[in-house]
């Protein structure tokens, strides 16, 4: 019998991750609280389980891709409790929970005979679909050697440390930088558009010059200039990650005044764009202030 891999959480990120594992020939046990989320995968050969415990009783390695720390905790404990009567050895968490939760789960699950593996990702839905996400893996060398070939199907693996929580630290730092770049780019681009500079040309200049960043290189061309706002990550989820990062700074007694300002600005902009809207809509606060929209000009028909 081929090795059974489990996947719990088939949302915007989890579904393409699970699909990549299935396409690589892995025998997949899946669960999502929305039964319809698994339909495409089961049609291709995945086995749908009735709950997290069912996945844990069928698979040695189980991946989690879930939206909040509270949901991760609930599902991880449920899966680990089922490990007594199943083969589960590794619970690989691709979610963003923050280092405190990761360390807590590592201790709790170890007592149940399950290794919790801290492995958050960066790259969004496009990266999940393309297999280009960055995976921040924090676990023992032995676990890394066992899991890296599987994780390599999903994206590029960086072994950032041996202790649970170090992956989460790296992830929330990354997302604070990403959020800051997007907010500042939104201010700058709105001013440029208000001054009459063509939006596409302006972003192209930034990307050819020293102002380029993750927002100008990726988010503006893919989602903001065309006005699609569809990268698959909500304003609320980004705000959650900012709070996790600043909680880490507080716990370590390290002041982050710029980080705190980014959090406050994100909260204010989110109240305008909407908490559940795509995180690229955060630019609308700056655009409203400037009285402009930073969009590509409509294409002229060749007919």
CATH of the domain at 178: 1.10.1040.10
Please, which pLDDT band fits residue 301 given cuts at 50, 70 and 90?
low
Answer yes or no: is pLDDT of 300 > 70.
Answer: no
Q: How many Cα neighbours within 13 Å face the side chain of 64?
A: 33
135 confidence band (pLDDT: 50, 70, 90): very high
Strands 133-138 and 121-122: antiparallel
Last residue of a domain, one of 130, 163, 196: 163
Q: If you write DSSP's letter for every residue of 240-272 in order, what string do you get?
A: HHHHHHHHHHHHTT---HHHHHHHHHHHHHHHH
- 248 and 214 share a domain? yes
38 within a domain of the structure (yes/no): yes
68-83 confidence digits (pLDDT tens): 999 999 999 999 999 8
Same domain, residue pair 182 and 155: no
180 shares a domain with 154:
no
- Whether 195 and 148 map to the same domain: the answer is no
Q: Contact 246/263 with Cβ under 8 angstroms?
A: yes
| Single residue among 135, 163, 191 that ends a domain in this structure | 163
- State how many domains the chain has: 2
Residue 169 confidence (pLDDT) above 60: yes
Q: Which of 163, 184, 217 is the last residue of a domain?
A: 163
Whether residue 46 lies inside any domain: the answer is yes
| Same-domain status, 11 and 150 | yes
Instruction: Please list, in sequence order, all residues whose beta carbon lies within 8 angstroms of the beta carbon of residue 158, skipping any fewer than 6 positions away.
Output: 134, 135, 136, 137, 170
- Full residue range of the structural domain in which residue 53 is found: 4-163
Residues labelled catalytic? 171
Residues 56 and 153 grouped into a single domain: yes
Q: Give 278-292 pLDDT, tens digit per residue.
A: 999 999 999 999 999
Question: 228-283 pLDDT, tens per residue?
Answer: 999 999 999 999 999 999 999 999 999 999 999 999 999 999 999 999 999 999 99
Distances (CA, A) of 29 to 48, 53, 65: 6, 11, 14
At residue 28, the pLDDT reads: 97
Tokens of 8: 């719990």
- The CATH number linked to 14 is 3.40.50.720
Is there a single domain that holds both residue 128 and residue 262? no
Q: Distance between CA atoms of 66 and 95, rounded to whole angstroms?
A: 6
Q: Is residue 202 assigned to a domain?
A: yes
pLDDT at 33: 92
Q: Do 106 and 225 share a domain, yes or no?
A: no
152 plus 15 within the same structural domain: yes
């Amino acid at each position: 019998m081929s090795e059974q891999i489990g996947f719990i959480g088939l949302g915007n990120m989890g579904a393409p991750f699970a699909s990549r594992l299935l396409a690589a020939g892995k025998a997949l046990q899946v669960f999502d609280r929305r039964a319809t989320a698994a339909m495409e995968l089961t049609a291709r050969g995945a086995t749908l389980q009735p709950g997290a415990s069912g996945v844990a009783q069928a698979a040695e390695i189980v991946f989690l891709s879930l939206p909040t720390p509270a949901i991760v905790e609930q599902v991880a404990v449920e899966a680990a409790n089922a490990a007594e009567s199943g083969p589960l050895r590794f619970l690989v968490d691709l979610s963003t929970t923050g280092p405190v939760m990761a360390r807590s789960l590592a201790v709790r699950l170890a007592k149940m005979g399950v290794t919790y593996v801290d492995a958050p990702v960066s790259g969004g839905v496009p990266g999940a679909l393309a297999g280009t996400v960055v995976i921040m893996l924090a676990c023992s060398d032995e676990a890394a050697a066992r899991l890296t070939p599987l994780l390599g199907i999903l994206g590029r693996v960086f072994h950032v440390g041996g202790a649970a929580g170090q992956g989460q630290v790296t992830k929330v730092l990354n997302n604070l930088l990403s959020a800051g770049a997007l907010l500042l780019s939104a201010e700058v681009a709105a001013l440029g558009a208000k001054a009459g500079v063509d939006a596409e040309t302006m972003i192209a200049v930034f990307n050819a010059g020293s102002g380029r960043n993750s927002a100008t290189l990726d988010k503006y061309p893919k989602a903001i200039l065309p006005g699609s706002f569809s990268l698959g990550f909500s304003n609320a989820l980004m705000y959650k990650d900012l709070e996790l990062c600043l909680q880490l700074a507080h716990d370590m007694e390290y002041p982050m005044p710029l980080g705190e300002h980014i959090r406050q600005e994100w909260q204010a902009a989110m109240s305008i764009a909407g908490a559940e809207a795509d995180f690229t809509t955060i630019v609308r606060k700056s655009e409203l202030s400037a009285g402009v929209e930073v969009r590509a000009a409509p294409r002229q028909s060749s007919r």
